[in-house]
Amino acid sequence: MAETDDNVAAARAVMDAHLAGLNARDEAAIAASLHFPHYRLSGGRMKVWETPDAYFADFLARAGEGWDHTVWDSLDCLAAGPDKVHLDVRFTRYRADGSALGSFRSLWVIARLGGKWAAQLRSSFAA
């Protein structure tokens, strides 16, 4: 049980680091929170980033006109094992004036590969 709790805590730390990097527009911090190749299923299509080069630019293209920052509304563990955690994630994207662009739900898979915890893939209802 303690290992599972530690793994869930590690997964949540990855998500916090990812969001902090995203909101700071820090491409290196964002990349550090992801395993590459990184996979995202949305709208019936699988997007694969082999390397971090285009990841942030792709995010900006789909985030919505006027995106300023994102907030996790909830991060709930659905399942956890020795090297993988599944998180049910709800988030909201905001404009600088505090108005919401939209709220979305996604499933994130945080994996420990080569001793490093990072997001390996997700399935999202966001554009």
Q: For residues 28 and 110, give the distance between their C-alpha atoms in angstroms, rounded to a whole number.
A: 18
Spatial CB neighbours of 113, under 8 Å, sequence gap ≥ 6:
35, 83, 120
53-70 average pLDDT score: 88
Contact 8, 75 (CB under 8 A): no
- Cβ burial, residue 38 (10 Å; 0-12/13-18/19+): buried
- What domains are defined for the chain? 2-124 (3.10.450.50)
pLDDT digits (tens, 9 = 90+) for 73-127: 999 999 999 999 999 999 999 999 999 999 999 999 999 999 999 999 999 988 6
Q: Can you give the pTM of this predicted structure? A: 0.92
